[in-house]
Structure 1
Amino acid sequence: MVVVGLVLAGLAALVHVYIFWLESVAWTTPRARRIFGMGPQEAEATRALAYNQGFYNLFLAVVVVVGIVLVAAGHLAVGSALVLAGAGSMVAAALVLLLSDRSKASAARSQGLLPLLGVVALVVGLVA
């Protein structure tokens, strides 16, 4: 189950790298505007905020990836702690998004389901 948790958390990290790209690199492009449901003026007005938020998503992904690498290198406790911290933060951010704006339920699900499943599988694998 540990491996399943790491794979799911790794996939969640990939999703968050994609979110980073959308928010920090492609924010004002037609694709990103369509995904986030905004026009050109709104995208330009929120560009700096999105840039910062994108890096937050990237840093969460990095924490998860470093944790996975450490587990693979035989450092189960430290690596698992990093994976749980990174993926757990992803889940918490998805919950904040959902609770702050119910219309963002689909986005919250997209960013929160994989890390949630990863956390559950990893914890089950660690306690079993």
Structure 2
Amino acid sequence: MVVVALVLAGLAALVHVYIFVMESLTWTSAKTRAVFGTSAEEAEATKELAYNQGFYNLFLAIVTAVGIVLVAAGSEAAGAALVFAGAGSVAAAATVLLVASPDKRGAALKQGVVPLLAVVALLVGLLA
């Protein structure tokens, strides 16, 4: 079950690296604006906020990835703590998005289900 958890956490980390790219690098592009449903004017007005938010996503992905590497290298306790922190934070942020903006349910589920499953699978795997 731990391996399943690490694969799921890795997928969640990859999604958040992609979100980082969109928010911090391509925020004002037509393709990214279509994903987020923003106009050119809205994207231009919010690009500094998106840039910063993108880095939050990147840092959570890095924490999760380092945790995966540590578990794989045999440092299960430290690695699991980082996976719980990274994937758990991503799942919690998705929950906040769902509660605060119910119209963004699809985005919240896309961002939050996989890391939540990773956290649950890791917990089950460690307790087994």
DSSP 3-state at the match of 1:91: helix
How high is the TM-score relative to the length of structure 1? 0.99
* Matched letter for residue 114 of structure 1: V
Superposition pairs for residues 61-72 of structure 1, below 5 Å? 61-72=61-72
Deviations 1:40-79 (A, max 9, x none): 0000000000000000000000000000010111000000
Structure 2 CA distance for aligned equivalents of residues 36 and 9 of structure 1: 24
One-letter code of the match for 1:49? L
After TM superposition, the structure 1 = structure 2 runs for residues 109-128 of structure 1, keeping only pairs within 5 Å, are 109-128=109-128
Residue in 2 aligned with 1:5? 5
Return 5+ residue gaps in structure 2 as ranges: none
* Mapped partners of 1:47, 1:96: distance in 2: 21
1:33 aligned residue: 33
> Aligned partners of 1:96 and 1:116: how far apart in 2?
13
Q: Which runs of 5+ in 1 are unaligned?
A: none
The CA RMSD measured in Å over matched residues stands at 0.4
Q: TM-score, normalised by structure 2?
A: 0.99
Find the aligned partners of 1:56 and 1:110 in 2 and give their Cα distance. 17
Q: Which stretches of structure 1, 4 residues or more, deviate above 4 A after TM superposition?
A: none
Q: Aligned partner of 1:105: which letter? A: R
Q: What does 1:1-128 align with in structure 2 at a 5 Å threshold?
A: 1-128=1-128
SS of the residue corresponding to residue 38 of structure 2 reads: coil
Q: Give 1:87's aligned amino acid.
A: A
* Paired AA for residue 117 in structure 2: L
Separation in 1, partners of 2:53, 2:22: 10
